[in-house]
Amino acid sequence: MILIKGGTIIDGTLRPPFKGDILISGDKISSIGNFPSKKADETIDAFGMYVSPGFIDPNTDSDHNLSLFLNPNQENFLLQGVTTIIGGNCGSSLAPLIYGTLESIRKWTDVNQINVNWHTVAELIKTLEQKKPGVNFATLIGHSTIRRSILGEDQRDLTDKEIEVFKSLLKKAMEEGGFGLSTGLGYAHSKLTPYPEIKTLAGIVAGQNGVYATHLRSEKEKLISSIEETIKLGKDTGVKIIISHLRPLLGYENQINAARNILNNLDPKIDLHYDVFPFDSSLVPIYTLLPEWAKRGGLESMWGLITSPTQREHIKNDIETLDAENVMIAEAPGNNYLVGKSLYEIAKNQETDPKDALVKLMTLTRMKALLVKRDINLKIAEEMLFDERSLIATNSGGNIESKKSIKLDRSTGTFPKFLKLAFLNNFPLEKAVRKITDIPARKFGLEKRGTIKHGHYADIAIFETGKIAHTIVNGKIAVEHGKLKEVNNGYILRKNRL
């Protein structure tokens, strides 16, 4: 039994903060009130602190970077007060796997780091339960994961028969615990996916009260048309929507502000949100910097183009001009000495220009490098945190201690920074907390989570101004006085099941 004493409780609803004690028994909240003489196995003195539901991150990559297996405690989330993370975003999930391969996440990590012993969502859940993560984990179903299993590297419309196979796989995956469908329409394998296909699949998700999360077709010149397509999908199917990592990219501020205006003035009946993070850098697979015409087939096909002397020159000429000082190598498989260096440094060391250096890097890493681009207007990004329809997300995975990659600020500081900015901007704290607890819990249908109520799961964050002191996951203290404990008590969540 745990007793949290004397804190200011922000319960996840819009109820004003109030002083009180919370009693936890097992993995649930058993009482809320004032218990001056109550004894417990563990007592947390929360005087002068805020006590809220544990935070929910709707867009994470702990499945994409395989840290659920390689670093299951997920400490960078726990230290932020995050107790539940959502995976399967941007069109890629760990299941279902028709052929037992993880090709849809190859752009993010080396898939040979683990052995795959599952095919279905149900089998994946059993595997992850054995790993015992430090946070609760729920997954969407990746559109590209299924589509590539059906088509391989082909980029064409699905036949009627293939659509029926897809629908069957999606229904089964959701019945086994998937929380919805995600698309990565900005990536090569999904960019040409026709609207009727997405509409058909989103209709199935809507029928099961799931969520449709989408990486837009375009975040630049065609941002507005991409937004309009997504809104149309919501109107046509009634599906709940999250636009993933809506970013105010430098040079496209007019587009993002127009998009915000459209989204924030939508009919309230359309259940649409977008997730954001308060930092100025994006993490991108290196192949996304290829000209559009060269993004065809799999990574091997793209690497084949880049190693062809004739095609390489065409590619180099057609690559967009880069701010090389603000492009950094995040991962370079087999070439770890490059990690942390900017494209400008590499070009200078090789006595060449940035475009040539980029092409050489593509060749050297066989298209498997990850880059950090400082390409976000930070002022607008911070403003978007407080938009009516925004949710807060790290868009990051669990950190893996390694010299093979660099950490992003957003992976460790997104939620504390959001809370700090809420204080600085006099944003009502009950609204700020609700944005990172109750709203995403309701969006995904996370039963008995997102609010502090009797009988709800004891996922709790205790914090001061932008600083997390304690994190409790399913009734066990995982972070105490800002220090991680050796406690992994996360649950693998299944849709429509407690």
Domain boundaries defined on the chain: 2-53+449-484, 55-280+379-426, 285-373
Its sign, for the CA torsion 232, 235, 239, 243, is: positive
Q: What is the DSSP string of 283-315?
A: EEEGGGGS-GGG--S-HHHHHHHHTSHHHHHHH
Structure tokens at 35: 């218990």
Structure tokens at 217: 């077709």
Please tell me whether the peptide bond between 428 and the residue prior to it is cis, using omega within 30 degrees of 0: no
Asked if 198 and 44 touch (Cβ cutoff 8 Å), the reply is: no
Alpha-carbon distances of 253 from 220, 244, 257, 390, rounded to whole Å? 9, 18, 6, 17
- Residue 107 DSSP class: T
Closest C-alpha to 293, from 139, 167, 99, 155: 155
Q: Which residues contact 358 (CB under 8 A, 6 or more apart)?
A: 286, 289, 319, 322, 343
Question: How confident is the model at residue 111, as a pLDDT?
Answer: 84
The alpha carbon torsion through 413, 417, 419, 422 (nearest 10 deg) reads -160
Question: How confident is the model at residue 303, as a pLDDT?
Answer: 87
Question: How confident is the model at residue 404, as a pLDDT?
Answer: 66
Neighbours of 333 (CB within 10 A): 15
Q: Which residues contact 290 (CB under 8 A, 6 or more apart)?
A: 302, 306, 315, 319, 362
Closest C-alpha to 188, from 107, 76, 119, 254: 107
Q: What is the pLDDT along the chain (498 residues), one digit of tens a residue?
A: 999 999 999 999 999 999 999 999 999 999 999 998 888 999 999 999 999 999 999 999 999 999 999 999 999 999 999 999 999 999 999 999 988 788 778 878 888 888 899 999 999 999 999 999 999 999 999 999 999 888 877 778 999 999 999 999 999 999 999 999 999 999 877 888 999 999 999 999 999 999 999 999 999 999 999 999 999 999 999 999 999 999 999 999 999 999 999 999 999 999 999 999 999 999 988 988 999 888 887 788 888 889 998 898 999 989 988 899 999 999 888 888 999 999 999 999 999 999 999 999 999 998 888 999 999 999 999 999 999 999 999 999 988 755 467 788 999 999 999 999 999 999 999 999 999 999 999 999 999 999 999 999 999 999 998 799 999 999 999 999 999 998 999 999 999 765
Alpha-carbon distances of 277 from 3, 133, 138, 314, 423, rounded to whole Å? 33, 24, 20, 36, 17
The CATH code of domain 2-53+449-484 reads: 2.30.40.10
Cα(256)–Cα(379) distance, integer angstroms: 12
Cα(459)–Cα(373) distance, integer angstroms: 34
Question: Which residue stretches of 15-87 are H helix?
Answer: 67-70, 75-78
Question: How confident is the model at residue 103, as a pLDDT?
Answer: 78
Cα(414)–Cα(396) distance, integer angstroms: 10
Which helix or strand (DSSP H or E) is residue 421 part of?
helix 409-424
Residues in the chain: 498
Q: How far is CA 391 from the centre of its chain?
A: 11
Backbone angles phi, psi at 292, to 5 degrees: -55, -40
* pTM assigned to the model: 0.95
Closest C-alpha to 272, from 431, 443, 441: 443
Q: Which residue has the tokens 């997920």?
A: 74
Beta bridge partners of 470: 462
CA 282-241-138 angle, 5° bins: 75
Q: Which residues contact 437 (CB under 8 A, 6 or more apart)?
A: 12, 52, 53, 54, 55, 56, 450, 451
Cα(469)–Cα(482) distance, integer angstroms: 5
Cα(121)–Cα(87) distance, integer angstroms: 13
Question: How confident is the model at residue 498, as a pLDDT?
Answer: 53
> Does domain 55-280+379-426 correspond to CATH entry 3.90.1010.10?
no
Q: Which residues contact 156 (CB under 8 A, 6 or more apart)?
A: none
Question: How confident is the model at residue 233, as a pLDDT?
Answer: 98
Q: Which residues contact 53 (CB under 8 A, 6 or more apart)?
A: 11, 12, 83, 433, 437, 438, 441, 449, 450, 451, 452, 459, 460, 461
